[in-house]
Every structure is written in C-alpha cells, then in structure tokens.
Chains A and B, each alone.
Chain A
Amino acid sequence: MTAQVRGVAAPTRAQVPAGTLRTDRWWLLPAATTVGLLTFVVYGGFRAFQQQYFFADERYLTPFYSPCVSLGCASEPGSAHFGMFLPDHPLIPYAALSLPFLLVFRLTCYYYRKAYYRSVWIAPAACAVPEPHAKYTGETRFPLILQNAHRYLFYLTVIISLINTYDAIVAFRHPDDGFVVGIGNVVLLANVVLLWCYTLSCHSCRHVMGGRLTHFSKHPVRYRIWTWISALNTRHATFAWITLGTLVVTDLYVLLVASGTITDLRLVG
C-alpha cells in the first residue's frame, strides 16, 4: 500500500480531496501540550541534577529532592530523614530513589499517555485528523505493552506521596524556633494535597479500590470508595496539569528562599 491509499483515502471510502476538512485550530491543543510537557521535563531535569538550593530555612525540603538519600545531602543538615547511602555523584540525583518512579508513574498514566500520544507521537494529533504513521499497533507490543504495569507504579507513588506528606508536616518545625508557619508551609501543604488528588484519582486506583468488582452491592465500603474516586477521576487530567504546576512552584519557592533571592514570610512564630 502506498501512502496515497492509506486510511481515509483507502479504496471504497468516499474520495475526498483532503485528509481532514477541519476548519478549527485543531493543532493548538497538541502544540500547547508539547510545550507544557517539554517545559516541565527541562525544568525538572535541570533541578534534579543541580544538587543545590533544595533545602530552605532548615525545614523546607523541595519534592524534587525527597527523600534525600545521597551522601551529598549532608551539605544541608536536616534534609535527610531516611538515611544517606547513595554515592554523591553529579549524575545521581539526590532523590534517585523516588524520581525515576515518579517519572515512570506519570509516563504510564492513562491521562499522560493520551496527552503525549496525541501531541508528541501524533497518533492522532486531533480527532478525525489523519495520523502520519504507516503502521499502527497501539499498545499491543513491546515497549508500549509495558504501559500495563501502571498500577505497580501507583503503589510506589502512594509510598512516595506519604513521604512528601511527612516532609510537609515536619516543615512546621524549625530546629531553633520550634513550631512556625511560613508562606513556604502553605506552599508545601497545598502541593501535597494536590499531589494526593492526582494520585488518588488514578484509573488504576479506581480499579483496585472497587472498579474490579462485579457485585458492588456485596461490598458497600469499597463501592463507596469507588464512588468517591470516580468523582475525583473525572478531573484526573486537570490534576495532572495542576500538579505539574504546583511541583514547579513549590520547587521554585524553595530554590528562591534557599538561594537567598527572597525571604520566607513567617505567619506564626
């Protein structure tokens, strides 16, 4: 088959002289998605390897360095709560135990899959717009068949979210001043709440909590939980983008305070 007789141009179909007749700006959403994802990857990549400005006011630990398990974390006393054992090497992020899993969690997320299949992979860029690929096997083969492991990344992310929650809570305690509340606490807390909204609205979570059951009536508690998660799940894409934003904002706040560019405003203490 040549490129001319593929897809909508295949024999027996109505021979229309254009691949798509869409007149709206269908390319805008995939283009914006690509820019958004790329911005996050570049910022996140830079910060993960910067190995500086990750701990501020002796209590704010950025999520990009949590848990801080590298020997290098010793440069910021108090930043490591779970021990320091990974070698301090420029190519090993201080949070090398969590970042790769968080990345793969988002890469295998049903929403992000849709986002990058449409924008980066152009399969398809928009509905009823022909995709450029000659062959298409979807998620039936290696490597995309591995997307099916998403639920295991979900389990790991729950553990990491618990660590982020712990970070946000211990950040209320200053080693010298005791209990304090600063703008940074509000930022850290808001970030963690939204991270939970994203994590719990996951499709795999919806499935394991109750979706896999056939008889909801025999499991009233799991049915109730499934109902709540289903409600959150309808906003999963929104949370996916909001949390990319809050992660950057939170990290940037810690960076700016740690580098002395701004000072953290104390509300209490």
Chain B
Amino acid sequence: MTYTARLRVWRGDTGGGALTDYEVEVNEGEVVLDILHRLQATQTPDLAVRWNCKAGKCGSCSAEINGRPRLLCMTRMSVFEPGETLTVTPMRTFPVIRDLVADVSFNYAKAREIPSFTPPPDLGPGEYRMKQADVGRSQEFRKCIECYLCQNTCHVVRDHEENKPAFAGPRYLMRVAELEMHPLDIADRVADVQDEHGLGLCNITKCCTDVCPEGIKITDNALIPMKERVADQRYDPLVWLGRTITRRRDRPARG
C-alpha cells in the first residue's frame, strides 16, 4: 500500500529551530528512516540525519518519534496510522548539532571515566580461562549497540542538566556492572559506582530498560544488582548506626 504521510521534522541547530511540516510518500514495509531518506532525496537535500547500518546494529540513528526515543531504522511505518502526523526530533538530552543529529560526546566522556578491565597482574594475554556460567551475566550487557537511547531517556539527566557531571547514565553504570561481575576483573568498583558514577541518583524507574532496542534488562540485571552490592558494602544498617554514633563517617567502606 502506498500513501502520503504527514511528517513534522525538527529543523535547526543550537541557535534555534522549529518543527517543519512535510508530506512524503510511504511504501509497504518501509521504516521511518526510509521516509526521511526519501524526504532528503526529493525535497530537503540539506536535512541532517545520522545513520549507518539500517539494521539496528550500529546505534547511529537514535531520535525521537512522536516523543518516544527510538531507532529510526527499526521503527516500521506500519505501527502508525496512515492519517497520523509523525513528529521526529533529535534526542533531547544531548546538545543538538543540526536537524536530527545530536552531539553524543557526553557518552564518550562518561565511557572514559570508567577504569578499564583489570585482570590479575600475573595473567598474560592468551592465558584467560573462564567458565560460561561466570560470563553469562556480562554477556547480556555486551549486546549493547551504544545507541544512547537509554542515556537520552533517563530522567536523571534528561530533566536535570545539572546532574550530568555526577551521573554516568544507565549505559555506563551497566558497564561498571559488566566489569564488576567479570570473573577475571580484580578491581573493586563498588565504592566508585556510588561515589564517582552516581548510581544513587538512579531511582530504578526503568525507562532505560523500556527503550533499549537490544532488550537488555538494564535495571533488573545491572543497576539493581549494583545497588545491592553497594548495600553490601556500606548500607548495612548496623554498620551505619555504629558509624553515626561514633561520627566516623569518613571511614572507608569494608570489602
């Protein structure tokens, strides 16, 4: 079935912008990215839209469609009514560069703040031996395509620009979890996840999980287990009570 869709696309840059109306042809089986490409090819050659694989694997085409963070290449036109106006904006948590392209460098900065994989010093490359049972949990997190939809949706930074320095975001809290659960990683990451990466800011409301195109259970399998590990180390009420009474809050966490 071929029909003409009504589109409202955000056009602009850091200086300002607006939602602009277009009408574009839609064919059977197409996704939103196809429609934007047709718009670019036939009406707006200067429309900026980032994409790469068109297969939901590179994580480049993240944007917001009718207010919902999604991959442009994995959102079928058939999920919308033909009469519906489709509003497409860039991700709204990061600075905009132009049109649908956002500057996601916040995420690269957060990635660099996490100390890398730390194997035991006496273990050389090629000597790593691991059991499947021990790496299963981390493997779920390795499915991440770094689309940053979770980072974009998380209200901690989406609604509070001021939290950006203190909060690594779900994708990188999950990276800490991946390393913490790794059988060969010997770094203690529990104190840092709370103090340096802002795990305490997460209120487990699961929007990251809801939008993840890879279906990773970020909250249940990474964030809550990390909160439990933090509780192991420092929110044991008895230890806390003892510390409060003796006013020795500065004592390092055990573990």
Contacts and interface: CB of A to CB of B under 8 A. Distances in A.
Interface string A98-124: 000000000000100110011000011
A93 to B, nearest CB: 24
A214 B10 contact: no
A7 interface: yes
A21 B202 contact: no
A157 interface: no
Interface stretch (B13-21, B29-37, B50-58): B13-21
Interface stretch (B90-98, B111-119, B120-128): B90-98
Given A114-B204, A124-B205, A217-B133, A13 B95 contact: yes
Interface residues of A, number: 55
Contacts of A21: 64, 66-67, 87, 89
Given A22-B66, A136-B159, A14 B225 contact: no
Interface stretch (B39-47, B230-238, B245-253): B230-238
Contacts of A17: 18-19
B68 A128 contact: yes
Interface in B146-201: 153, 155-156, 158-163, 180-183, 198, 200-201
Contacts of A127: 68-69, 153, 155, 207, 210-211
Contacts of B153: 127-128
A17 B15 CA distance: 14
A149 B235 contact: yes
A215 B134 contact: yes
Given A136-B156, A151-B228, A212-B229, A10 B235 contact: no
Contacts of A135: 160
B224 interface: yes
Interface string A119-148: 000011001111101011111100011001
B164 to A, nearest CB: 10
A127 B94 CA distance: 16
B56 to A, nearest CB: 19
Contacts of A144: 203
A16 B96 CA distance: 11
B254 interface: no
Interface string B67-82: 1110000000000000
B154 to A, nearest CB: 9
A30 to B, nearest CB: 11
A212 B229 CA distance: 7
B201 A137 contact: yes
A110 B161 CA distance: 26
B10 A14 contact: yes
B151 to A, nearest CB: 12
A191 to B, nearest CB: 26
Given A123-B203, A139-B202, A151 B231 contact: yes
Contacts of B155: 123-124, 127, 131, 136
Contacts of B14: 12
A138 B14 CA distance: 29
B200 A7 contact: no
Interface in A48-75: none
Interface string A182-216: 00000000000000000000011011000110111
Nearest to A151: B231
Interface of A: 1, 6-8, 10, 12-17, 20-24, 110, 113-114, 117-118, 123-124, 127-131, 133, 135-140, 144-145, 148-152, 203-204, 206-207, 211-212, 214-217, 223, 233-234
Given A130-B159, A212-B228, 7 more contacts: A20-B67, A128-B69, A128-B158, A136-B156, A136-B159, A136-B160, A139-B203
Which 8 A-B residue pairs are closest in the complex by CB-CB distance? A21-B67, A148-B235, A22-B67, A127-B207, A140-B200, A138-B201, A12-B95, A207-B228
21 contacts: A7-B158, A10-B161, A12-B96, A14-B89, A14-B92, A14-B96, A15-B17, A16-B19, A17-B18, A17-B19, A22-B67, A110-B224, A114-B206, A117-B203, A127-B211, A136-B163, A145-B200, A148-B231, A204-B228, A214-B183, A216-B131
